[in-house]
Amino acid sequence: MAYNGTRRPRLHLGILIPAIVVAPILVWAAKMLVERSEFPKATPSSRVVDIDFTVVDLATGLPIAGARIELDHVTGDISHEGPDRRLTTGPDGKVRLSEAFAAVTMRGDDGLVRGLVHFYEGDPLVQESYFLNIEALGYVKTSESFELIFPKGLRYETPGPFPSTIRLAPTVTGERR
């Protein structure tokens, strides 16, 4: 090839070889730095829980058909009107409640979400809670706090349904109070 008056760029092996060796190491190091500095993936803040309630007679233990169960989310709001859900037990005294409740969760190193479903929210001074109001013809109307039914909450990772038995005391006259 003849010389045409321009210089052809020369490849400097002293720069090329270290660049080929160092570049993959830099890419790997950057990738590791990004992976370690990422925030943990978001975890759920609620979970739909299935609870199987069985309403029974306190004295006999027999199921009470047609008992009305009302779920009331007490928020401290004075304009809150009535219960959030109304359910009625079947002939076997059972009814299933499926409802989303707050949860405190975290993701483990294995990627699984663990935590606790709880039935109270908010500031301890103005705490929101869930109540069940239960009534049936011939029985004393009662109200149960979810915190008393499930005092330790429910494990987030435990599959439902969760059983709960509610015992109603008969009225003296056989009429609803």
DSSP 139: B
Question: Which of 59, 60, 71, 69 minimizes the C-alpha distance to 90?
Answer: 69
Q: Domain 46-168 adopts which CATH fold?
A: Immunoglobulin-like (2.60.40)
Q: What is the rounded CA–CA span in Å between residue 149 and residue 136?
A: 19
Residue ranges per structural domain of the chain: 46-168
Task: Tell whether the model's pLDDT for residue 71 goes beyond 90.
Answer: no
Which one, of 80, 58, 60, lies nearest residue 134 by Cα? 58
Interval 89-101: pLDDT, tens: 999 999 999 988 8
Highest mean pLDDT of the ranges 24-33, 35-44, 159-168: 159-168
Is the model more confident about 92 or about 30?
A: 92
Q: Which two tokens stand for residue 38?
A: 């990422």
* Cβ atoms < 10 Å from Cβ of 58: 14
**pTM given for the model:** 0.67
Q: Which helix (H) or strand (E) holds 32?
A: helix 13-37
Closest CA to 85 of 95, 73, 67, 102: 73
pLDDT tens digits along 95-144: 999 988 888 888 877 778 888 887 766 555 545 678 889 999 999 999 88
